[in-house]
Amino acid sequence: MRQLRYAINVTLDGCCHHEAGLAPDEESMRYWTAEMARADALIFGRVTYEMMESAWRQPTTGTWPDWMRAWEIPFAETIDRAKKYVVSSTLGDVDWNAELLRGDLGRGVHRLKQEPGKGLFVGGVTLPLALADLGLIDEYVFVVQPIVAGHGPTLLAGLRERIPLELVDRHDFRSGAVALRYRPKRAAA
């Protein structure tokens, strides 16, 4: 069974807006490239899919844009070629190596988890909340940024029940950010 991993940048006060934390640097981009590469497929909601596509889809010219630094290209290549599933009730179709995941969210993601492979990766804010409420997330990766944002969407806001977690790994960045990897604690039998 493939594991579903939720990974996101979050500020010290829980803000998970993509512009609230530190600007990416070489070290963080290497980290995120490795995280993406650990998955066979990415699962995004519409908003995250459209945001990622606008930033990281390779242009039809085959040349990455001038704004992209050389150390960002491995991340761009990894996300560009990854298989993607998009959860949306408003999109009619998708491309960028993607397909729509329609119908019952729990059943659809459970089916994907049953397929052979390395794992699944989910990002964003709204979709991971729904998946956490369904108990479908097997691992949480929070890259905690040394910033207090003071506003913006917060991590898993509205979660129906607490999810006890156990720390399984930690990675310190030179920037002061810390990647914390957790797995849900399973109830003793």
Q: Annotate 56-105 with DSSP letters as a single string.
A: HSPPTTS---TTS-GGGHHHHHHHHHSEEEEE-SS-S---SSEEE--S-H
pLDDT attached to residue 68? 93
pLDDT attached to residue 19? 87
pLDDT attached to residue 187? 63
Q: Side chain identity at 49, as an amino acid letter?
A: Y
pTM, entire model = 0.93
Q: Using alpha carbons only, how large is the chain's radius of gyration in Å? A: 16
pLDDT attached to residue 156? 95
The tokens describing 135, both together, are 């108990």
Q: Which residues contact 151 (CB under 8 A, 6 or more apart)?
A: 15
**Number of helical (H) and strand (E) elements in the chain, helices listed first:** 5, 8
Q: What's the CA gap between 109 and 128, in Å, rounded? A: 11
pLDDT attached to residue 120? 97
Successive 10-residue mean pLDDT values, the chain, 189 residues: 95 92 93 94 95 93 92 95 94 93 94 95 95 97 96 93 96 97 81
Direct distance between the N- and C-terminal alpha carbons of the chain, in angstroms, rounded to an integer: 21
